[in-house]
């Protein structure tokens, strides 16, 4: 039986709202810039006057994806065309049963991905795309993690620009977001800014259904649900927890690239002395261990520091 993730959105504001859905970027080897695509977008009338609920469902399956670039990725523009995908497994922890965790990309006679096979090398929790030799001056390709909707549509959820003759390791993160605005599926968006004050649907603990309410004051309430035993002993969806953006502490720290030209993530820090620990990173996929960054208080003076530890959405910079 196919496992699905379902997000149901209710608009409790008094006006029509546009909503779009997106995924937290995976962590990629190589330290390249990571891009994010919108997965779905739709307008929704107020629930009080229409009774309408917006539902987005996707298959809980990891997919490797590649795509030919039409132009360099740009926010607000489609990421590319002629995509190829393969269902793939993640590398197990040491001692685990081997999985088919590696696929090989081809560009001639056409773009494609091979049936995955088992290899040793990718780190636990990741899959690998082996890229062929090609001339990046003539053709550019996107490669990364894809998502399949329940209707069968495939979207390259997040990606990097593929480098020729290399191994690209991708560690997906099954956290999804809902935000107000309009980004059609397959359109490049700004994850860092869009994820601020967005509704978070975190499937990591095993939740499969999320009832998301957009509230009158612009905050969100998310009810996390999973399959479990009901009071009568039958299987059904059971409410596990409720979260609200109104309860979250506002971000007070940010992480910029080494040159200080681009904000990569925001988060929460107890103080701004080095070593600095920043929790609730909005885009941990953009952070790489042993890379140099600028960190500090939002709007304040930043300090150069190396990321020396990264656990989930918490990073330490020394």
pLDDT tens profile 203-224: 998 899 999 999 988 999 999 9
Between residues 229 and 102, the one the model is more confident about: 102
Backbone angles phi, psi at 194, to 5 degrees: -70, -30
- CA 292 to CA 288: how far, in whole Å? 9
In this structure, are 165 and 295 located in the same domain? Answer: no
In this structure, are 135 and 268 located in the same domain? Answer: no
- CA 99 to CA 141: how far, in whole Å? 26
In this structure, are 50 and 145 located in the same domain? Answer: yes
In this structure, are 69 and 166 located in the same domain? Answer: yes
In this structure, are 15 and 157 located in the same domain? Answer: yes
Question: Is 162 domain-assigned?
Answer: yes
In this structure, are 258 and 128 located in the same domain? Answer: no
Question: Is 213 domain-assigned?
Answer: no
Q: What is the pLDDT of residue 149?
A: 87
- Cβ atoms of 211 and 54 within 8 Å: the answer is no
Decide which of 189, 210, 244 is a domain's last residue.
189
pLDDT(306) > 60: yes
Question: Is 244 domain-assigned?
Answer: no
pLDDT (average), residues 272-291 = 88
Question: Is 199 domain-assigned?
Answer: no
Decide which of 165, 189, 213 is a domain's last residue.
189
**Helix (H/G/I), strand (E/B), else coil: 239:** strand
In this structure, are 11 and 132 located in the same domain? Answer: yes
pLDDT (average), residues 134-162 = 93
Find, among 291, 283, 288, 292, the residue nearest to 310 by Cα.
288
Question: Is 286 domain-assigned?
Answer: yes
- Cβ atoms of 259 and 275 within 8 Å: the answer is no
Question: Is 161 domain-assigned?
Answer: yes
In this structure, are 151 and 29 located in the same domain? Answer: yes
In this structure, are 172 and 286 located in the same domain? Answer: no
**Helix (H/G/I), strand (E/B), else coil: 163:** coil
Question: Is 152 domain-assigned?
Answer: yes
Q: What percent of the chain has pLDDT over 70?
A: 93
Q: What is the pLDDT of residue 177?
A: 97
In this structure, are 132 and 269 located in the same domain? Answer: no
CA distances from 37 to 76, 100, 122, 144 (A): 9, 26, 24, 11
- CA 78 to CA 177: how far, in whole Å? 19
Banded pLDDT at 235 (limits 50, 70, 90):
low
Q: What is the pLDDT of residue 237?
A: 59
Question: Is 276 domain-assigned?
Answer: yes
Q: What percent of the chain has pLDDT over 90?
A: 73
In this structure, are 271 and 167 located in the same domain? Answer: no
- CA 271 to CA 315: how far, in whole Å? 14
pLDDT in tens, 44-66: 999 999 999 999 999 999 999 99
Partners of 214 in beta bridges:
11, 220
Structural domain for 263, as ranges: 253-317
Number of domains in the chain: 2
- CA 253 to CA 302: how far, in whole Å? 10
pTM of the model: 0.77
Q: What is the pLDDT of residue 163?
A: 95
Backbone angles phi, psi at 153, to 5 degrees: -70, 140
In this structure, are 165 and 24 located in the same domain? Answer: yes
Banded pLDDT at 232 (limits 50, 70, 90):
low
């Amino acid at each position: 039986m196919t496992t699905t993730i379902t997000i149901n959105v209710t608009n409790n504001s008094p006006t029509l709202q546009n909503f779009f859905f997106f995924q937290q970027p995976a962590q990629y080897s190589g330290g390249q810039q990571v891009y994010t695509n919108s997965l779905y977008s739709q307008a929704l009338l107020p629930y009080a006057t229409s009774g309408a609920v917006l539902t987005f469902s996707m298959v809980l399956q990891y997919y490797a994806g590649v795509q030919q670039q039409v132009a360099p990725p740009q926010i607000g523009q489609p990421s590319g065309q002629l995509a190829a995908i393969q269902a793939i497994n993640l590398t197990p922890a040491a001692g685990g049963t081997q999985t088919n965790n590696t696929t090989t990309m081809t560009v001639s006679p056409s773009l494609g991905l091979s049936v995955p096979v088992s290899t040793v090398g990718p780190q636990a929790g990741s899959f690998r795309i082996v890229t062929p030799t090609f001339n990046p001056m003539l053709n550019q390709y996107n490669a990364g993690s894809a998502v399949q909707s329940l209707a069968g549509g495939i979207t390259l959820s997040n990606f990097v620009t593929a480098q020729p003759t290399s191994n690209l390791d991708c560690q997906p993160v099954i956290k999804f977001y809902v935000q107000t605005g309009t980004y059609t599926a397959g359109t490049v968006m700004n994850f860092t800014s869009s994820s601020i004050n967005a509704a978070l649907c975190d499937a990591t603990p095993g939740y499969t259904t999320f009832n998301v309410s957009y509230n009158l004051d612009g905050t969100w309430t998310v009810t996390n649900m999973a399959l479990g035993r009901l009071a009568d002993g039958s299987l059904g969806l059971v409410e596990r927890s409720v979260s609200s953006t109104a309860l979250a502490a506002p971000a007070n720290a940010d992480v910029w690239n080494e040159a200080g030209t681009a904000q990569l993530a925001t988060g929460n820090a107890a103080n701004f002395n080095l070593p600095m620990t920043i929790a609730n990173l909005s885009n941990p996929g953009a952070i790489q261990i042993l890379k140099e960054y600028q960190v500090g208080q939002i709007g304040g003076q930043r300090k150069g520091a190396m990321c020396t530890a990264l656990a989930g959405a918490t990073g330490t910079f020394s």
